[in-house]
Amino acid sequence: QVQLVESGGGLVQPGGSLRLSCAASGRIFSINAMGWYRQGPGKQRELVALITNAGSTNYAASVKGRFTISRDNAKKTVSLQMNTLKPEDTAVYYCSAAISQADGLGYLHYWGQGTQVTVSS
């Protein structure tokens, strides 16, 4: 069993900041890429930011320069620092991770339950 549990969502005014965190637990041998996706009202789920186990990052154009993704491999956590938030950032944010549960097994994609971020005055 593998679980990804997010925390840190909430309501914030435009221009404000929030920090999302996600912790992976359970039977985990290795974690490859970790990332954050979001799904706004009436929209498809989209990639926000991705980070490899070596620390390489990739961001959606809409958040580049405002959001920062980081991870702690020892603690099996990934975080998303979101600054200068805009109303269009309103969405449910999902943590994701590619996880192998044993040596020799491939990586499967796991998702968290999602956390709501609302940017509104």
- pLDDT tens-digit profile of 47-77? 999 999 999 999 999 999 999 999 999 999 9
Sign of CA dihedral 100, 1, 38, 9: negative
What is the band of 81 on the pLDDT scale with cuts at 50, 70, 90?
A: very high
Give dist(CA 12, CA 120) in Å, integer: 6
Q: How many CB atoms lie within 10 A of CB 13?
A: 10
What is the band of 95 on the pLDDT scale with cuts at 50, 70, 90?
A: very high
pLDDT per residue as tens digits for the range 100-116: 999 999 999 999 999 99
Give dist(CA 45, CA 63) in Å, integer: 15
Give dist(CA 37, CA 50) in Å, integer: 9
Give dist(CA 84, CA 97) in Å, integer: 26
